Structure 1
Amino acid sequence: MTPDNDKRLAQALLHPASVALYGASDDVDKMGGRPVQFLKRTGFAGRIYPINPRRDEIQGLKAWPSLQSLPEVPDQVFVLTPTETVIPAVRECAALGVKVVTILASGFSESGAEGAAREGELRRIAKETGIRILGPSSLGVVNPRTGLVLTANAAFAEPDLPPGKVFVASHSGSMIGALVSRGKARGVGFAGLVSVGSEVDLNVGEICAATLDDPAIEGYLLFLESLRHGPELRAFARAAHARGKPVIAYKLGRSAAAAEMATTHTGAIAGEDDIAEAFLKDMGVARVGVLEALLETFPLARRIPLESAPKRVGVVTTTGGGAAMAVEQLGIRGVVVEPPSADTLKRLEQAGLPCTPGRVLDMTLAGTKYETMKATLDILLTAPEFDLVLAVVGSSARFQPQLAVKPIVECAGGPKPLAAMLVPDAPEALAALTAAGVPCFRTPEACGDAIAAVLARRRPGPEPVLPAPGPARTLSEAEAYGVLHELGVPHAPVALRCFGEAPAPLPFAYPVVAKVCSAEIPHKTEVGGVLLNIGSDEELAAALATLRRNLDERAPKAACDEVLVQPMQKGLSEVLVGYRVDPDAGPIVMLAAGGIWAEVAKDRSIRLAPVTVETAREMVAEVNALKPLTGLRGKARGDLEALARTVSALSQLALKPELGIAEAEVNPLLVLPEGQGVVAVDALVFQWTPA
């Protein structure tokens, strides 16, 4: 959208001058009655128009028989009536020039063919008229700053909603109410909450992007049931990063089975949620897996700019057991706690501060004093070995927060980020820390989750440049090698031989492998199309005859006139390098353990494409099967640098729209000894053709 469109959308959605409640009820216990009750209770300054042709008055407000009877065109209409009435209501809104219509009802694409047709009609109305549609299955919109509680969510009966600095967009309508109630208990308010629903028109990314210029909004919380409308979400995340506004997401689906996509191993191994994980991290979004962390991560993400995300965490505590829980939760998420250096321990000793050295600086009960904790934090926050300091406070936090919590509050503006975890239930201390802007956690799980999520964020890379997708065709292996050559990906030398031709000398020595070469046979082993260890001209001639018989028996309809011949090669390890354009996340690149274990082990690393060689090195380090090639326990070292260059090279397909590649997979890619490079010995490529 353009900046002007963003402003118009934000105004109509979050700052409407007038709202109409289509199907409003006088009964506050009904879904249609709640929005009227909430808007009146919160003192919404705009004009409220209940629409109900059977009543003259709704909850003390004049009721109107229809939208046409209103004295003005409302900025936003909340349709509260049943599913079968929705499309006529939306058409009526569009004809009047309403800017935004929100649909409460369900019963659309999730309910079968008839519902999908209704949803298609809504999409058509939006496209043809320009009206923006929120939902279906949206519980509404809330802006605590203006008293706009335009929602049917019963949780908003909660009085005195505190305004805050973060904006919430949620696929789940009930979740906005849950966050408000949980947030109020923690002293956390919101700058706005939107129940996005089914995203027939307006989606999470588009809604959030429209609010980016609002100075009262400093960050975003997203509750995602799936990754949809990836381009809009990508554009929003980039823009939020450019403005320094952190984004935290809780996404469902970690346990979902891997989705089968196209016909490559890349699609089978990279499950939908794995791609979503890479997408969120690579877009600079902190993805949490603990609900409490969704509320608690923002202060930490705001304190740590994405470009300088710390990696080294130091822990100081007054309770060894409490600190051990925090360290464990960090450890299982891959965050290693750094011990204090000898110089830091010496500074503490010279200051007469009690501590037990180790991975965690345990001050024991002797540290439960204001002067002791304050002096210790002053030293740790200037220690060069720490990028982030976590203070874990024990029982004193509940009834004597002035001892160990007060110094944390006073050190909040120190030279390095400082966070706190309180072991007891200490709401007053948590409120004081929250008010001071100190990232603070009530449980070790949320603490570990939030810190790990913030540290896992990655700065967004280059924006891919892709051709318009169309039907995809499979390239033959010989054509696939042409694409690899264009990218600078090394592959084994090849010679093509035709069935029925007289044998010709090969340009390389025996032994060789012979493979059928046809765009119609992407998986050659399934039709007996690969023969290994061919040692002479005579054996090659016999192999060609065998391949021809196999094709006649197992793939008689496949067009295949050629056989591809390559020298037999062996490496220290086999890997899979894959590229594909995901319909939501966009281009991804994957490095995985190769060979027959590729789909079984699912030992892989995924990033959005393109990636630099430096990022590709990180991917290499994440694949467990490659660790022996680092020289582990005397094993031969593999050419992992050449592997990283190859991963980066394949990922550049995201910047080469002229090649029109939808998917490309090298499996296996042989990793040779250090200094000898890598070599592709099989490739499968799908190319878009003009629609």
Structure 2
Amino acid sequence: MTPLAQALLNPRRIALIGASADEGRLTARPQRYLRRHGYTGDLLPVNPRAAEVLGERAYASIDDIPGDIDFAYILLGTDNVEAQVAACAARGIPLACVLADGFAEAGPEGAALQARVLAAAKSGGMRLLGPNSMGVVNANARTALTTNAALEAETLPAGRVALISQSGSMMGALLSRGAARGLGFSHLIGTGNEADLTAGEIASLALDDPDVDVVCLFLEAIRAPDQMAAAAAKSHRLGKPIVALKLGRSPFGAELANSHTGALAGSDAAADAFFRANGILRVTMLEALLELPLLVAGRRPAARTHRGVGVMTTTGGGGALAVDALGVLGIEAKKPDAVASAKLEAAKLPHHARLLDMTLAGTRPDRVMAGLDALRSAGDTDLALVVVGSSAQFRPKDAVGGVVEAAKIPGKPIAAFLAPQAEASLRMLAEAGIAAFRTPEGAADAIRAFCDWRAPVAAPAISAPAVTLAAEPDEADARTLFAALGLASDSQVMQDEPPAGLRYPVALKILSPDLAHKTEVGGVALHIADAVALRDAAAAMRARVSAAAPDARITGMLVQPMAKGLAEAILGFRRDPEVGPVVLLGAGGVLSELHRDIALRLAPVSLDEAHAMIGEVRAMKPLTGWRNLPKGDLDALAQAIVAVSALAAVPAVAEAEINPLIVGRPGEGVTVADAWVVRA
């Protein structure tokens, strides 16, 4: 274990700066909790007004403490933090944690203070946890170094799952929820604002701990994506999965996450792409975050998933709830295939429906084991789900005993959904390492994450395209950029007089670096038949745009032949503030933002990944020849996606978009109908 990992995960000499002698105060909690839960290391309270704090010798300052110190927890108010961090750094302490808030999340002044605090830490080579951190818990070492009130509990259940949370309060919430169902944690670490140590770096340290099988992340933002990606790669090498629940799926959630942590939130679709590319399992529900680790511990992502589940039930209604919840998330409860059917028939169990209903067949352990053995043998499923009815509440051994025994046999994972409130059964299943859910939605969320899980995908190697971008680009400049990527388009710039040699009919568009949406200001005219009509349309367009957007700078007009094709796509690139470069494909045209029919990946992408993106966009399905419709040039579309994703290697480009990109028949390629670029 590295010195940093030792100091963070298992400190043996802890200084509590600002520890209170009043047991009722927040700043007395870490000392009380540490001793309550059996910490055997040295506690070193720092309090200039007391010679003793809660039975421990106290020191007037950090400089008065003899010997080495592993970890300093600064419990003082915001105004005192900077000086104390500087004192700890000068003392040579490897790690300090700051409880106080009022830093980056509090606005520019707080951000400046946070920067000074970090500089003070770095001046002595000290690492910083927080600010706004509720500390560290190591359940195996009985280290309850936190102010979280959940540690008022009499017991501290230990487990093999490390929780790293940007929200300190959620550390306690998950600790208490887990304890209620027999689930414990190895570590719980509150990262707060992550001025220095990030969730990704801490996850990497936790993965090296032999007492950790799975790392769970509760995230409000993705900071330092390179560190998170490195941790994910390590998790795959070690066979220790990472499970994440990230806030910000709605615009309102993203706004609150930003205000809480002071982090700039990106789009949720980009976060999804990041987790997917790096082999991190993403859940959306607290219950799934608690239970999914048992489903994936000791496992690796399959090379191919079927998005199918075999379902056994002792309650018809509960089974139907589970099947419905799975179906909403695109996971099918499969009828037994030939292999599974043969095993079920041999065991005299039903085998013709999506549900293996054991209500009448009985729940004797041998019957349950035979049924699960059959369901796990199916070639088109990823796991087996057991739905248990009222017996789980009143006869836990009878209800889940067979499930526990079946899980001892190597094979596909087994999960359970308990329809009643059944704490004893939940505990039995947890002790057996079986993921058990209180709701069908929680089970479905976890199973969907399991089926989405795949190994990290390495980004393809690319060279930076040779492009030159104007200081304030308009659409003509954007087209020049895309032409350098291999997506040339037939267009010309005009002022007032039509260029010679045009192929009519044509489209006319205003050129301005200030107008991203030209249709909204009357800056687009279509199906112009000849030069006379083009001259008149240009004059009318100038007048319309000048009236609608008087401050916009007009650099000319763009003329291009009217393009025909089978479908319109939007193809875009942007540098997401959280995860970096991403490429997007979606249904194109003026309604693209309304439909939100998109696929998004980290950029750059390979050709195979580009084809996978096409397969995810519903509007592209007709181009596959669906219901005998004409096929589109999907190879050209995939090549266009790859080309645009190469903008990841062009730092000057912040955003770029083709909307619409018109897709022709096989061999006809794609046509850039409208383009836009934004400089970084």
Give the TM-score normalised by structure 1: 0.89
| Structure 1 residues 595-634: aligned runs within 5 Å | 595-633=589-627
What's 1:670 paired with? 662
Change in Cα spacing, 1:400 to 1:582, as seen in structure 2 (3 Å) is same
Partner of 2:532: 538
| Residue 618 of structure 1: how far off its partner (Å) | 3.1
Shift of 1:544: 4.3
The alignment status of 1:493 with 2:490, answered yes or no, reads yes
Distance in 1 between residues matched to 2:471 and 2:165, nearest whole Å: 38
3-state SS of 1:102 partner: strand
Query: Do structure 1's residue 325 and structure 2's residue 321 form an aligned pair?
Result: yes
Match of 1:683 in 2: 675
Cα distance, 1:312–1:191 mapped onto 2, change above 3 Å: same
Kept in 1, the 8 Å contact 2:85–2:121? The answer is: no
Written as runs of structure 1 = structure 2, the 5 A alignment for 1:642-653 is 642-653=636-647
Q: Note closer, same or farther for the CA distance 1:126–1:684 as it changes in structure 2 (3 Å cut).
A: farther
Aligned counterparts of 1:466 and 1:225: Cα–Cα separation in 2: 34
CA contact (8 A) 1:323 1:392 kept: yes
In structure 1, give the amino acid aligned to 2:526.
Answer: L
Greater alpha carbon shift after TM alignment, 393-402 vs 584-593: 393-402
Q: What is the 5 A alignment of 1:455-534?
A: 455-463=451-459, 473-489=471-487, 491-497=488-494, 499=495, 504-506=499-501, 509-519=503-513, 521-526=515-520, 528-534=522-528
Two-structure CA RMSD over aligned residues (Å): 2.8
Q: Flag structure 1 segments of 5+ consecutive residues without an equivalent.
A: 1-5, 261-269
Question: What is the Cα deviation at residue 611 of structure 1?
Answer: 2.4
What is aligned with 1:51? 46
Matched, 1:62 2:67: no
Residue 114 and residue 516 in structure 1: after superposition, are their counterparts in 2 closer, same or farther (change >3 A)?
A: closer
Q: Secondary structure at the match of 2:573?
A: strand
1:234 maps to which residue? 229
- Equivalent position amino acid for 2:482 in 1: L
Counterparts of 1:40-439 in structure 2, within 5 Å, are 40-256=35-251, 272-302=267-297, 304-308=299-303, 310=305, 311-349=307-345, 351-355=346-350, 357-412=352-407, 413-439=409-435
259 and 541 in structure 1: CA distance in 2 versus 1, 3 angstrom threshold: farther
Instruction: Find the counterpart in structure 1 of residue 439 from structure 2.
Output: 443
Answer whether contact 1:534 1:540 (CA < 8 A) is retained. Answer: yes
Change (3 A) 1:644 1:361: farther
Cα-to-partner distance string for 1:520-551 (whole Å, 9 max, x where unaligned)? 55444455443322222333344444455556
Identity across the alignment (%): 45
Give the partner amino acid of 2:418. L
Matched, 1:453 2:445: no
| 1:233 partner SS | helix
Q: Are residues 173 and 233 of structure 1, via their aligned partners in 2, closer, same or farther at CA, if it must alter by over 3 Å?
A: same
Change (3 A) 1:553 1:335: same
**Displacement of 1:140:** 0.9
Secondary structure of 2:455's aligned partner: coil
Q: CA deviation at 1:363?
A: 2.7
Q: Structure 1 pair 567/629, CA: closer, same or farther in 2 (3 Å)? A: same
> Where does residue 582 of structure 2 map in the other structure?
588
Equivalent pair of 2:236/2:300 in contact (CA under 8 Å):
no
CA distance in 1, matches of 2:372, 2:515: 65
User: CA contact under 8 A between 1:373 and 1:404: conserved in structure 2?
Assistant: no
Aligned partner of 1:265 in structure 2 is none
Q: For residues 367 and 629 of structure 1, do their structure 2 counterparts lie closer, same or farther at Cα, with a shift above 3 Å needed?
A: farther
CA contact (8 A) 1:355 1:364 kept: no
> What is the CA-CA distance between 1:458 and the residue it aligns to?
3.9
The answer as to 2:632 corresponding to 1:638 is: yes
| Separation of aligned partners in 1, 2:233 and 2:395 | 44
Q: Which amino acid counterpart does residue 480 of structure 2 have in structure 1?
A: G
The residue type equivalent to 2:574 in the other structure is R
Secondary structure of the residue aligned to 2:60 is coil
In the TM superposition, what is the alpha-carbon distance from 1:194 to its structure 2 partner?
Answer: 0.7
- TM-score when scaled to structure 2? 0.90
For the 8 Å contact 1:319–1:365, the answer to whether it is kept is no
Amino acid at match of 1:21: L
Q: 1:493 to 1:138 in 2, by over 3 A?
A: same
Give the corresponding residue for 2:29: 34
Q: Aligned pair in 2 of structure 1 residues 380, 520: CA closer, same or farther (>3 Å)?
A: closer
1:87 CA displacement: 1.5
CA deviations over 1:281-321 (Å, ceiling 9, x no partner): 33222222221111100121235422436322111222211
Secondary structure of 1:596's aligned partner? coil
Q: Deviations over 1:608-646 (max 9, x none)?
A: 222233333332233333344444455444334433332
Say if 2:247 and 2:254, in contact at 8 Å, map to a contact too. Answer: no
Whether the 8 Å CA contact 1:356–1:363 is kept in 2: the answer is: no
Q: For 1:558-573, what aligned pairs fall within 5 Å after superposition?
A: 562-573=556-567
> Match of 2:259?
none
1:297 and 1:439 in contact (8 A); partners too: yes
Task: From the superposition, tell whether residues 111 and 483 of structure 1 become closer, same or farther in structure 2 (CA, over 3 Å).
Answer: closer
Change (3 A) 1:669 1:89: same
Closer, same or farther: CA 677–362 of 1 in aligned 2, 3 Å? farther
| TM superposition shift of 1:129 | 3.5
Preserved contact between residue 341 and residue 374 of structure 2 (Cα < 8 Å) = no
Secondary structure at the aligned position of 2:111 is classed as helix
Counterpart-to-counterpart distance in 1, 2:594 and 2:132? 39
Aligned length: 664
Query: Structure 2, unaligned stretches of length 5 or more?
Result: 256-264
